């Protein structure tokens, strides 16, 4: 979890580091496993945005929107913040074994137009999620069948293929807490 926390600190920027340094020792900050306290914040938007980007940057807008739907649905069903959903261990592969968020993403210094558009779409979707200003599909899980065959895939209902991913809904009783 230490690497995940370090990556999160890099992504959310200096204000979080300054706040943490003022109130906690470095050891406490690095081992802290909590998402930002304020669910409607720039810190949360960046965590959600990076999750959408890293999981679906190669997909069209509909694919990114479906990943955003997974985050929104899980947060609602499990009564957690969206940042907690994104950072929960082994839930989104982009946060597994992460050492740091890619510098080009954190700073927005892409030279590839496709990556720039994906980052902008992801950031826009993150703020749409946080403002709850639209109706979202009811997906709780997704996977890329060319890369994985998860054991929980058979429990999904309402399956829909969008781009390279399969999306579906799983009853909360089967979901990790």
134-167 burial code (b ≥16 CB/10 A, e <16): eebbbbbbbbbeeeeeeeebebbeeeeebeebbb
In angstroms, rounded to a whole number, what is the distance separating the alpha carbons of residues 96 and 89?
A: 7
| Domain contains 51 | yes
The answer to the question of residue 43 being in a domain is yes
Is 153 part of a structural domain of the chain? no
Query: What's this model's pTM, rounded to 2 decimal places?
Result: 0.70
Residue 33 lies in a domain: yes
Higher per-residue pLDDT: 65 or 129: 65
pLDDT at 165: 93
Q: Give bridge partners of residue 168 from the DSSP assignment.
A: 141
Which residues neighbour 57 within 8 Å (Cβ) at sequence distance 6 or greater? 64, 114, 115, 118, 119, 122
- Specify if 157 maps to a domain: no
pLDDT band for position 46 (cuts 50, 70, 90) = confident
How many Å apart are CA 9 and CA 74, to the nearest integer? 23
Distance, in Å, from the CA atom of 136 to the CA atom of 62, rounded to the nearest integer, reads 11
Region for 163 from its dihedrals, namely left if φ exceeds 0, alpha if ψ lies in -120 to 50, beta otherwise: left
Per-residue pLDDT at 117 exceeds 60:
yes
Number of domains in the chain: 1
Which span out of 17-26, 61-70, 94-103, 125-134 was modeled with the highest average pLDDT? 61-70
81-108 residue pLDDT tens? 888 888 888 888 888 777 767 777 767 7
Contact 108, 119 (CB under 8 A): yes
Asked if the structure places residue 151 within a domain, the reply is no
**Position 62 pLDDT exceeds 60:** yes
Q: Is residue 17 part of a domain?
A: yes
Percent of the chain with pLDDT over 70: 71
**Count of beta carbons in the 10 Å neighbourhood of residue 60:** 13
Q: Which domain holds residue 30?
A: 2-137
Mean pLDDT of the chain: 76
Does residue 13 fall inside a structural domain? yes
How far is it between the farthest Cα atoms of the chain? 48
Asked if residue 119 has pLDDT above 70, the reply is: yes
CA distance 8 to 140: 23
């Amino acid at each position: 979890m230490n690497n995940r926390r370090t990556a999160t600190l890099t992504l959310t920027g200096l204000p979080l580091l300054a706040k943490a340094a003022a109130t906690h020792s470095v050891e406490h900050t690095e081992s802290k496993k909590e998402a930002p306290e304020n669910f409607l914040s720039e810190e949360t938007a960046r965590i959600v945005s990076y999750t959408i980007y890293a999981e679906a940057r190669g997909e069209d807008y509909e694919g990114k929107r479906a990943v955003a739907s997974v985050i929104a649905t899980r947060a609602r069903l499990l009564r957690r913040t969206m940042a907690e959903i994104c950072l929960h261990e082994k839930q989104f592969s982009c946060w597994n074994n992460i050492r740091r968020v890619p510098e080009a993403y954190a700073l927005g210094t892409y030279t590839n137009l496709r990556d720039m558009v994906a980052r902008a779409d992801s950031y826009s979707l993150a703020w749409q999620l946080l403002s709850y200003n639209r109706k979202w599909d009811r997906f709780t899980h997704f996977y890329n069948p060319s890369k994985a065959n998860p054991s929980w895939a058979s429990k999904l209902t309402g399956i829909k293929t969008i781009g390279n991913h399969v999306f579906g809904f799983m009853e909360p009783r089967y979901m990790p807490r």
